[in-house]
Structure 1
């Protein structure tokens, strides 16, 4: 099956989410030590991911709704495998700016453990936007 790696097929539960700064190698957990989330690779070529911070409250004010938006990441699209990367052509996303784009992620698979990292990019969450990346660890469900 060209472009797909059957070893990725199935459901993966999020274990940790770190951000790492390129210069200092400093790592932090912006969404706490125990975030929620799943990554699913379908044999039909579609992936879906939903990740939320651990500490979230239902929102009924603009401020609380903004906080909810800032502590969730969710998207889906058709994916393909290219070496140690998977590339997703996003057709639905929590972030409208991602729709129609391709998102590239690097992965390392070790048995039932999957590590996914973004490319190095300016970190919009940190003052001065230093170059960093996200690193997510998953375990097979």
Structure 2
């Protein structure tokens, strides 16, 4: 598998946590998240995911109440960097992100294709005391909500 299969823009269809026995646990960003990931022919990628049900802020980004700004931060993630594909894995070398802890790291995702979708699966991680993986299903066409 090479990077050519990923080149272009993909839209998030669903994202959910999977438990240790393969069971679907919960939707990570709500039942109808919004997301886009773009892989460029120049080896750079960018991703943006927002949770379902976000509310507008009262005022501009700086003047809105702190609690609203915090909720806006909690309900979205964006990052960009270089990417490469090797042996069934895509690696995102993050050089900018709304989550500063990711800057300078490599996010490694198992990559598979199922029908019309690209499926990215995280490495196992602990969530609420349960080892889970997050499965993100991306499709070429925008998702209608």
Shorter-chain TM-score: which interval?
0.7 to 0.9
- The DSSP-based 3-state class of the residue aligned with 2:31 is coil
**Equivalent residue, structure 1, for 2:91:** 87
TM-score normalized with structure 1 length: 0.87
Could you list the runs of 5+ residues in structure 2 that have no partner in the other structure? Answer: 58-63
Any residues of structure 2 matched to 1:129-140 within 5 Å, and which?
A: 129-140=129-140
Kept in 2, the 8 Å contact 1:4–1:45? The answer is no
- Cα distance in structure 2, aligned partners of 1:95 and 1:74: 8
State how many pairs are aligned. Answer: 135
**Equivalent residue, structure 1, for 2:39:** 41
Q: Which residue, 103, 107, 122 being the options, matches 1:103?
A: 107
Measured after TM superposition, the shift of residue 31 of structure 1 is 2.0
- The DSSP-based 3-state class of the residue aligned with 1:32 is coil
**Equivalent residue, structure 2, for 1:65:** 69
Q: Following TM superposition, where does structure 1 have runs of at least 4 consecutive aligned residues deviating by more than 6 angstroms?
A: none
1:24/1:44 CA distance change after superposition, 3 Å: closer
- Cα distance in structure 2, aligned partners of 1:139 and 1:6: 15
TM-score normalized with structure 2 length: 0.85
- Cα distance in structure 1, aligned partners of 2:131 and 2:66: 30
Measured after TM superposition, the shift of residue 26 of structure 1 is 4.0
- The DSSP-based 3-state class of the residue aligned with 1:100 is coil
- Cα distance in structure 1, aligned partners of 2:78 and 2:109: 15
Kept in 1, the 8 Å contact 2:16–2:24? The answer is no
- The DSSP-based 3-state class of the residue aligned with 2:5 is helix
- Cα distance in structure 2, aligned partners of 1:55 and 1:40: 23
**Equivalent residue, structure 1, for 2:13:** 15
Aligned-residue Cα RMSD (Å) equals 1.8
Could you list the runs of 5+ residues in structure 1 that have no partner in the other structure? Answer: none
